[in-house]
Amino acid sequence: MARTLGFLPSLGPALRAPRTRPHHISSVFQQRRQFGVSPQYRGDESPRSFKTQLFESTHQRVKRERAEQERFSQHQPFSPGGRYAALMFALALFTTGAYYLGSLKPVSLPTSSTTPLSDLPPPQLNVSPSNLQAAWASFVDILGKENVSTEYNDLESHSGSDWSSYSRKVNERPFLVLYPATTEEVSRVMKVCHQRSIPVTPYSGGTSLEGHFAPTKGGVCIDFCRMNRILKLHKGDLDVVVQPGLGWEELNEELAQDGLFFPPDPGPGAMIGGMVGTGCSGTNAYRYGTMREWVLSLTVVLADGTIIKTRQRPRKSSAGYDLTRLFIGSEGTLGLVTEATLKLTVKPKSQSVAVASFPTIHSAAECVTRVVEEGIPVAGVEILDDAQMKFINASNATSRQWKESPTLFFKFSGTPVGIKEQISMVQKIVSGTSGRSFEFARDDSEMKELWSARKDALWSVMAMRRSPEDHVWTTDVAVPMSKLPDIIEATKQDMNQSGLLAGICGHVGDGNFHAIILFNEKEKKTAEAVVHRMVKRAVEMEGTVTGEHGIGLIKRDYLEHELGESTVDAMRRLKHALDPLCLLNCDKVVRMERAAPADIKGW
């Protein structure tokens, strides 16, 4: 007994304390003692017989019981029949309430095919310090402490970039950055985030331009830089399985050893995960198409940690819904891509580049339209306006000085004989559209030199910053080819009238062009107005608000003007179906909660 009580030391004083009789128990004992003595008995009187005392005691007890019954009946509003009726009513009420509550679970499924924003409650995310700190311990168990970072520089670099058109707010920073290495680790991380309602922002190359990786809700950032391997190359089938953190330039360096080629070529530093997320293209889009044409299959981790594979490796398939293309261009809002099976092609035997200058941006765009109409199979057609050429010269971005006039860059690929024929045909069209000069590369070194100006367009504008407070706004639209000369000329005039340092470049072979604008805080409203009018023109010309950059945060409210409200509501239904807690890349592509009136621009 002593050993048993030793586990309860707090009970020791209570066990040793003298026992005291509760007051109510003492009063009962006193009453019992009084039952044996008649109230009329006094100490100076002679005691009565036991029979007399028993009679008086019984008489007094009966009187008390009758008095208690009378008092109890006075407080009961119901007769026995009334009490029975009340009991039956309470039972019926309870049964009805239980049936009603039971009918609410499960919640009835929606009957409409779309989800208007007004029908959605705000997402219930949990970014409290206690919740995130508790999750940190789980992430360390999954990834190891060295792959879970709370370093200030890591958090800052995963919050935004100098070349993004979105200026992040001070509080938009992840709580920590995670570095998984496998699909299974990503799945386990997402299960923790789903259980704890923690928002997640995916990150691969960080080269996106429309605020795609801004952590607007905080939470955690998943960086795929450790998932940067080529998993399997199928040379005979012309496809390759890669992880999302692999850069397209590194991939092509490896493929070149086998004479193979992956055509999409966006900006330097872009990685496969981000390229899938934005549905990018690049300078080869005119000949080879966009990212959508070069992805065969994806392995995706969904918001609750479920792993799916969208299809097998054949070049064609009619098996079910095309989930592969659903995730391409979804910007990480529907799932996290952890593997991609990409189509490949044979590397061209020969390549060349030609450069042509024009008196006006309209005549340059008209030349592109003529080349497309003639069906000349050039590999790419790029345009830089006169301002952009000035920036390249002023920044010394290349090894030569250029004519500071609107310029077209043509890329040719194929056999040597075929390239010569293409160059000859393009040169005639340039002459017929007021071209001032035409120069083509005679060897590989000249080809790299001529093409370098196009690749350095963005960096040359950034080099023109007047102070550290200057920002660069890079945006794009695309229109049908027949409308291209008109929209480029109108946008150029608008830029000139704004007084901003701004240039035009783009993959005009497929009707896609970019505006690169330099601005400070005082000029921000002016820059916003220029971009707004550019987007509005594109939509009114049956074009798109973005050809390859994606929607991100900047252009989500333009989608309704391009596609219609019901189409955006259908996109919202897809988002809610695959990510019901709204954890993945919050606020991108479509809104899942109402915006403040000040955030909505008039059309």
What's the pLDDT tens digit per position in 296-346? Answer: 999 999 999 999 999 999 999 999 999 999 999 999 999 999 999 999 999
Coil, helix or strand at residue 84: helix
**Per-residue confidence band for 12, with pLDDT thresholds at 50, 70 and 90:** very low
**Per-residue confidence band for 447, with pLDDT thresholds at 50, 70 and 90:** confident
Question: Which positions ≥6 away from 345 have C-beta within 8 Å?
Answer: 238, 260, 261, 262, 263, 288
% of the chain with per-residue pLDDT over 90: 68
Instruction: Compute φ and ψ for 461, nearest 5 degrees.
Output: -70, -40
Question: What is the number of other CB atoms lying within 10 angstroms of the CB of residue 425?
Answer: 15
Residue of 370, 507, 492 whose CA lies nearest to 431:
370
In whole angstroms, give the CA distance from residue 239 to residue 237: 6
Helix or strand run (H / E) with residue 220: strand 220-223
pLDDT at 23: 46
Residue 458 above 90 pLDDT? no
Helix or strand run (H / E) with residue 372: helix 361-374
Output the CA–CA distances (angstroms, integers) from residue 574 to 34, 299, 330, 383, in the order listed: 83, 18, 11, 37
% of the chain with per-residue pLDDT over 70: 84
Which value, to the nearest 10 degrees, does the dihedral of the CA atoms of residues 503, 506, 512, 518 take? Answer: -30
Question: Which positions ≥6 away from 282 have C-beta within 8 Å?
Answer: 264, 265, 266, 267, 507, 548
- The structure's pTM equals 0.80
Question: What is the number of other CB atoms lying within 10 angstroms of the CB of residue 117?
Answer: 15
202 cis-preceded (ω within 30 degrees of 0):
no
463 burial via Cβ count (<10 Å: 0-12, 13-18, 19+): middle
pLDDT at 93: 76
Residue of 72, 76, 96, 71 whose CA lies nearest to 86:
76
pLDDT at 164: 87
The model's pLDDT over 214-229, given as tens digits with 9 standing for 90+, comes to 999 999 999 999 999 9
In whole angstroms, give the CA distance from residue 222 to residue 154: 12
**Per-residue confidence band for 58, with pLDDT thresholds at 50, 70 and 90:** low
Q: What mean pLDDT value characterizes the chain?
A: 87
The model's pLDDT over 465-505, given as tens digits with 9 standing for 90+, comes to 888 889 999 999 999 999 999 999 999 999 999 999 999 99
The model's pLDDT over 374-400, given as tens digits with 9 standing for 90+, comes to 999 999 999 999 999 999 999 887 888
In whole angstroms, give the CA distance from residue 589 to residue 522: 28
Helix or strand run (H / E) with residue 149: strand 148-149
Instruction: Compute φ and ψ for 80, nearest 5 degrees.
Output: -55, -40
Helix or strand run (H / E) with residue 295: strand 295-301
Average pLDDT over residues 243-268: 95
List the structure tokens of 382.
């790029």
pLDDT at 547: 94
pLDDT at 55: 65
**Per-residue confidence band for 457, with pLDDT thresholds at 50, 70 and 90:** confident
The model's pLDDT over 405-436, given as tens digits with 9 standing for 90+, comes to 999 999 999 999 999 999 999 999 999 999 99
How close are the terminal C-alpha atoms of the chain, in Å? 84
pLDDT at 295: 98
In whole angstroms, give the CA distance from residue 503 to residue 405: 12
Average pLDDT over residues 61-74: 62
17 burial via Cβ count (<10 Å: 0-12, 13-18, 19+): exposed
Residue 32 above 60 pLDDT? no
Domains of the chain as residue ranges with CATH: 129-223 (3.30.43.10), 230-346 (3.30.465.10), 350-554 (3.40.462.10)
Pairing of strands 407-414, 350-357: antiparallel
In whole angstroms, give the CA distance from residue 245 to residue 229: 8
In whole angstroms, give the CA distance from residue 90 to residue 484: 76
How many helices and strands, by DSSP H and E, does the chain display?
21, 18
pLDDT at 70: 62
Question: Which positions ≥6 away from 210 have C-beta within 8 Å?
Answer: 164, 165, 166, 475, 546, 549, 550, 551, 552, 553, 554, 555
The model's pLDDT over 139-185, given as tens digits with 9 standing for 90+, comes to 999 999 999 999 999 999 999 988 888 888 888 999 999 999 999 99
Output the CA–CA distances (angstroms, integers) from residue 26 to 22, 35, 563, in the order listed: 6, 15, 86
pLDDT at 39: 42
